Chain A
Amino acid sequence: MLKIEIDGRQTEVPPGATVMDAATRVGVFIPYFCYHKKLSIAANCRMCLVQVEKAPKPLPACATPVTDGMKVWTQSELARQAQRGVMEFLLINHPLDCPICDQGGECRLQDLSVGYGGSASRYREPKRVVSEKEIGPLVSAQEMTRCIHCTRCIRFGQEIGGVMELGMIGRGEHAEIVAFVGRTVDSELSGNMIDICPVGALTSKPFRYTARTWELARRKSVSPHCGLGANLIVQAIHNRVMRVVPRENEALNECWLSDKDRFSYEGLNSEERVRRPMLKQGGEWREVDWQVALEHTAHALRETRAKHGAGAIGALGSPHATLEELHLLQKLARGLGSESVDFRLRRCDFSADGKRAGVPWLGMPVAEIGALDRVLVVGSFLRKDHALIAQRLRQAAKRGQQINLLHVAGDDPLVRLANRLTVAPSALPVALARIARAVIEAKGGALPPALAQLEAAPAVTETARAIAASLASGARVGIFLGNAAEQHPRAAELHAIAQELAGALDARFGFLGEAANSVGGYLAGCVPGPGGMNAGAMLADPRKAYVLLNVEPALDCHNAAQALAAMHAADMVIALSAFGGGALDYADVILPIGPFTETSGTFVNTEGRAQSFNGVVPPLGDARPAWKVLRVLGNMLGVEGFDFDTSEAVRDAACRASDVAGRLDNRVSGIALERRAPAPALERVAEVPIYSADPLVRRASSLQQTHDAAPPSAFMNAATIARLGLAAGAPVRVRQESGTAVLELARDDGLADGCVRIAAAHPATAALGAMFGEIRVEPA
């Protein structure tokens, strides 16, 4: 440890620490703009100049390493003079019009100018003007004259986002921040540049000029999207959510947010929001009051049960719904006598049900991912499905973590990979088995019979061997199954093989987690019981009545066409939904519920962290929190145990936070690994596009203008296109089961031979069937 004295306060810091680190430790404030604790040191703003004993010149605290016995003064005449001088330089070309700047009130330059700036300007020369830039739908660069060239945005792209979306051109006074010509700034993390920009140069395009920051209420919340459970500050005015910014949580999202978490709030104020309960009578929708709607619903459910038996009722909840909502949904279904309840909508292989030792989860805390030295990710569109976990891996890779990716597409995760293996979905289990076999053989262990029988002679390929060697050389190994592995037709086998592999490596093992409540849904008991049907079965064999909780079947389920057909075939569809959407076609009752900002609730994230939150604004119109709607419905139907007064009581009935850890267990047993028929000539690879994953984000208008929200095409590699005699750029007709869609054919050489990549969760492909499986392509 090195001793240092700052403004008379003594402390000790480890070698390599900077004066800024030491100042933070002793609570001495040093002003800065370019410094950011998560970014590399640039030392370009010069605002943190301090006086150091024996140094002839003031030194930047952010970049000056502590030496033993160092003495530093941050408030001496030399230091103050340097800081005031820099502040004056920063302001001479900066517009002094804070009242009309969108950053006003939360501007670092504005704040620090109070302490270090003059009360009048000595600068009498013409000021610099920098032309505005159009860089896409999320980040506004309309006020680049305000830029102070701290390069935080550039370093963010290079270091955190993994893609250099912004750079600096020009020299001296003519230096300016630009995007690459014609490119937009909308990678899945770019919104963070708005937060880290210390001035009003990069601002939020959707939020810009809609409110002043000091007028906004700040309320804590939790992201309803991916399995990470990013912590949010939701800002509202007049009962309307205006903006979402990160709430720092080093264990989860650190100080970042994905663009999905940040900008999805626009969907909250969508035109498609349902404000009154609605009944469809005689083919016409009619707004009714809650009493009528609920009585109608209760009556319809009773009638269905009386006519067709309780088994004719199916309940589907969204993995983005709260623990409380999912708990009451399953309780309602079971109260009616139906065990057909599920929240795993995009799964198609349920053969692990009844064979799991507990609730599947990440298998370790998110914060410890970076401490692993070897990682294998199986079946994940990592960057888009888990933007911030990918970010953690990106940083870990720089520190030497070896990351291996086994997947069904060749997308660049912007993470330095040690090895990658891309196979067709039908080949995924065998590929994983080969890696497992190579590891077990290398370790001299006996091949488990189950693995041995998967393929008569599972020849270990070169890449599989390289991945195995990478994993076997590690001391702290993690094996993670991504969303595609969970949505895979042989998900249970992938689970079982991964378990064997993890066992052979003594590795951590788990699931990245599809949605905000992928763990919570299990804890809520929102899975079928004995005699009940799972999500796949209920849609394959249509029920007479469905209760949908925040679900849009054609976009949220594994087999879109089948799900939609089931809805149309049902006598009664009761949709608890915030949005009209497709429900207006097939539903009979729409009960308007509040999205996550309008209800209290709990999400249990992928690491098993139960995060409860309160509503931040009152429900829109007559919408009500879904847990209250379900509670009243339960009472009306006379179901036992529905006398909850608070969502907290519902939560505690579902699962106390202290009980979560004891229920998490990824072990699975008794899964049969089978040799299968040869792969079909063409098979579908479906990703869930990042901004199509759930009803809320699908209505976030700015996100829908990004490149990631482009309409789906049918992608194949060049060899497959040639084999089929097709041409990229031309329209093709794709057929799957009974559905067809006409899409543009595009080339993606990252795909394995025989694969056709067509996104799910999009209206343009909702007529198609399962996310994986046989598909046919012909010229349109």
Chain B
Amino acid sequence: MTTAHPPLPADAYGPDALIMKGVDGLNWRLKDYEARGGYRALRKVIAEKMTPDALIAEVKKSALRGRGGAGFPTGLKWSFMPREFPGQKYIVCNSDEGEPGTFKDRDILRYNPHSVIEGMVLAGYATGTTVGYNYIHGEIWDVYQRFEEAIEEARAAGYLGSNILGSGVAFELHAHHGWGAYICGEETALLESLEGKKGLPRFKPPFPASYGLYGKPTTINNTETFAAVPWIVANGAERYLELGRPNNGGTKIFSVSGHVERPGNYEVRLGTPFAKLLAMAGGVRAGRTLKAVIPGGSSMPVLPGEAMMRTDMDYDSIAKAGSMLGSGAVIVMDDSTCMVKALERLSYFYFEESCGQCTPCREGTGWLYRMVHRIETGHGRPEDLDVLVNVADNILGRTICALGDAAALPVKSFIAHFREEFAYHIEHKRCLVSIPGGYATVPGVPLGEAA
């Protein structure tokens, strides 16, 4: 038995939703998915005897980019899989969603699991792969259980197995749950974990397409990426591309959290202005002003509110504004937020979640956290800010995986945009933010003494 969830309001994900269109919180089963047009893409590929190359070309044309954070073009990634490899190849779905602020894959798996299954079968067909794994974050157990049920349904209906819909196409899918380590969301650490080892990232090259799971060619995509594929195949790459912008095809689910009236997931066309997304989430909570936004999950640089209000939500626009779209986790902070305290929280997360394998991250994340913690608790020193930025620079780009960058970028961007708050903490041993009731130390109380 899986946990029951309350129904969702109508159009909970917004009017432009594709993946989450028609999802009401209860209709996750196979028959519901089929009723929404599910598995139409798979049937079409089989009926039309679409070639794997044509399928990859279609995905390329859609400009679908990886929804896990890096934004790598999906079709291109699929084309890296060796065609004539003599052994087993693997498709892996990365559902190890653990970044603070990100909660979209959980909703997809909970409310529309078959979209992921169908996307993975299509990816398997496109790359000539017959085995897939979905690695699901360990802290959402009910989602894992539901996905297992969905796999059973798909298998029973002939959408999975050695002879899918009688076509001779084979694809077997297995669910696997992790234990909640953030690092296992890094694709090569995920592969290690899937192999039963400790989740430590591998250095690249070689890339998973040549040396992946069990050393075999492997394609790893994010849950949302797979979930987008059936719509593209069923409705055509051009239509998908048109929904977004050139090089930024389709829709994207943004997890909007923080100081907004209606936090939640919103699926909008890429290129939607941030202001519109913010409005969908009910705007900044009553009586407050927008101060800052982390537009792509906690590992991405923070941007001041005014900069965000001028920005559209797509990969290229956000990059131009100085941050990254990442996983689409939009963390909204209002003017009651102390940026030192916010950074302290983020730095603690990366300190806690560093795998410890390589030196700059293992040693540097602790150093960063301890310095920010000192500043936040009233023990900052004048030289701390320069040291912080320098330590972050010494981590950035020097580590095996991107966790080091994820720890360094917030530090650099918080200090770049809000240096005066940090300096005030250090000089006055007090918080600059004077609005009570927000995410800040109680105004007027010396730092470190607040209860």
Interface of A toward B, CB cutoff 8 Å? 41, 43-47, 49, 56-58, 60, 63, 65, 81-82, 85-86, 88-90, 92-93, 122-126, 128, 148-149, 168, 170-175
Contact = CB atoms under 8 A, between A and B. Distances in A.
A89 B359 contact: yes
Interface stretch (B89-97, B170-178, B364-372): B364-372
Interface in B8-45: none
B354 A171 contact: yes
A65 B207 CA distance: 13
Interface stretch (B99-107, B256-264, B283-291, B394-402): B394-402
Given A43-B400, A46-B360, A171-B354, A125 B370 contact: yes
B322 interface: no
Nearest to A88: B394
Contacts of B400: 43-44, 46
B358 interface: yes
A708 B370 CA distance: 47
A196 B357 CA distance: 18
B152 to A, nearest CB: 34
Contacts of B353: 171-172
Contact of A46 (B198, B367, B398): B398
A86 B381 contact: no
Contact of B352 (A44, A49, A81, A172): A172
B362 interface: yes
Contacts of B198: 168
B382 interface: no
Contacts of A47: 359
B398 A82 contact: yes
A149 B359 contact: yes
A45 B359 contact: yes
Contacts of B351: 172-173
B355 A172 contact: yes
Interface in B331-356: 351-356
B360 A175 contact: no
B387 interface: yes
B205 interface: yes
Given A44-B357, A172-B354, A174-B356, A149 B367 contact: no
Nearest to A43: B203
Interface residues of B, number: 33
Given A63-B203, A171-B355, A174-B356, A149 B398 contact: no
B420 interface: no
Contacts of A170: 356
Given A86-B359, A173-B351, 10 more contacts: A57-B398, A82-B394, A85-B393, A89-B394, A92-B363, A149-B356, A168-B356, A171-B355, A172-B365, A173-B366
B359 A56 contact: no
Contact of A122 (B357, B366, B387, B397): B387
Contact of A57 (B362, B367, B397): B397
Given A46-B398, A86-B398, A148 B359 contact: yes
A46 B397 contact: no
A82 B359 CA distance: 12
A90 B183 CA distance: 21
A109 to B, nearest CB: 11
A149 B394 contact: no
Interface string B108-119: 000000000000
B302 interface: no
B203 A60 contact: yes
A123 B397 CA distance: 21
A168 B356 CA distance: 10
A47 B358 CA distance: 10
A47 B360 CA distance: 10
A171 B181 contact: yes
> Chain B CB within 10 Å — which of A65, A128, A172 has the most?
A172
A-B pairs, top 4 by smallest CB distance, nearest first, are A85-B394, A175-B356, A172-B354, A57-B397
Contacts of B354: 171-173
Contact of A85 (B183, B356, B398): B398
A81 B391 CA distance: 11
Contact of B367 (A90, A92, A174): A92
A170 B199 CA distance: 11
B359 A90 contact: yes
A310 B363 CA distance: 76
A46 B358 contact: yes
Nearest to B365: A172
Contacts of B362: 89, 149, 172-173, 175
A60 B397 CA distance: 11
Nearest to A84: B394
Interface in B173-201: 181, 183, 198
B366 A172 contact: yes
Contacts of B374: 125
B397 A89 contact: no
B398 A58 contact: yes
Contacts of B361: 172
Contacts of B394: 81-82, 85-86, 88-89
> Chain A CB within 10 Å — which of B351, B362, B370 has the most?
B362
14 contacts: A43-B400, A44-B400, A85-B394, A89-B359, A89-B364, A123-B367, A125-B366, A128-B366, A171-B354, A171-B355, A172-B356, A173-B351, A173-B362, A173-B363
B407 to A, nearest CB: 10
Nearest to A167: B198
A160 to B, nearest CB: 19
B130 to A, nearest CB: 27
Contacts of A89: 359-360, 362-364, 367, 394
A85 B352 contact: no
A36 to B, nearest CB: 16
> Chain B CB within 10 Å — which of A88, A89, A128, A149 has the most?
A89
Contacts of A90: 359, 363
B398 A56 contact: no
Contacts of A172: 351-356, 361-362, 365-366
Interface string B367-388: 1001100100000010000010
Contacts of A57: 397-398
Contacts of B397: 56-58
A168 to B, nearest CB: 7
A58 B359 CA distance: 15
A88 B360 CA distance: 9
A49 B357 contact: no
Contacts of A86: 359-360, 394, 398
Contacts of A122: 387
B72 to A, nearest CB: 16
Contacts of A49: 398
Contacts of B183: 171
A122 B388 CA distance: 11
B360 A85 contact: yes
A149 to B, nearest CB: 6
A60 to B, nearest CB: 7
> Chain A CB within 10 Å — which of B181, B358, B371 has the most?
B358
B149 to A, nearest CB: 32
Contact of A44 (B359, B370, B381): B359
Contacts of B359: 44-47, 86, 89-90, 148-149
Nearest to B351: A172
Contacts of B370: 125-126
